[in-house]
Amino acid sequence: EILSVNGAKISDVRELKSHIETRAGESVLLQYRRAGAERTTRVEVEAAEPAGESATGTRQGVIRVQLPGGGAYPEHMLKHTSLGLFAALGHASAEAWNMTALQAKIFGRMLTGQVSLKNLSGPLAIAEFAGDSAVAGVASFVSFLVLISLSLGFLNLLPIPILDGGQIVYQLLEWAKGGPLSERVQALGQQVGIVLLVLLMGVALFNDIARQFG
């Protein structure tokens, strides 16, 4: 029984997953109980592309731990929760926020070099994951569409001038300046934004092609 990850208490499989999936390429300290005795061990977290409804094209941390019996949950570990309309909307909003925050965390680690840029995926990987999720069923495909929508929303909020995030930065600068920016500054920002976006998509497409032939 896994008790904690890096000192953080674990009460169920979802908590374990949330702690591990953002630590690809790192090592974690696991505390566990076996035969009544508690021990600790350090485990290297691998980086793997998730499948099914979790497929986003971004690699996540895994430690190859699964439930016995082919992954089926025992009855005593299952809990059914019925949510009303407003409670379901609140729960869905929280899940959407958590997914977006995870993307932001992984992207930030890419910028700082903690996570490899090879984890960035483009249109080829998206098409592949879309096909896999469609084969898995309607629920998996709809979940994949939600993840893609959240990913596009996050991308659109990056502070790149030609995206909405860049326009927000422009508005903040104009507010701080007390007047509009010059046309030269705006044109320069647009050019820089195009270069950054082309580089970002170029890296993603290169990774897709490298995976196909790798």
| Structure confidence by residue, pLDDT tens digits, 73-108 | 677 777 888 889 999 999 999 989 988 988 888 888
Average pLDDT over residues 180-197: 88
Give residue 50's pLDDT: 61
Comparing CA positions, the residue from 117, 115, 95 lying closest to residue 105 is 115
The answer to whether 180 and 173 have CB atoms below 8 angstroms apart is no
Give residue 207's pLDDT: 84
> Residue 56 pLDDT > 60, yes or no?
no
3-class DSSP state of 170: helix
Average pLDDT over residues 147-156: 90
Average pLDDT over residues 133-156: 88
Confidence (pTM):
0.59
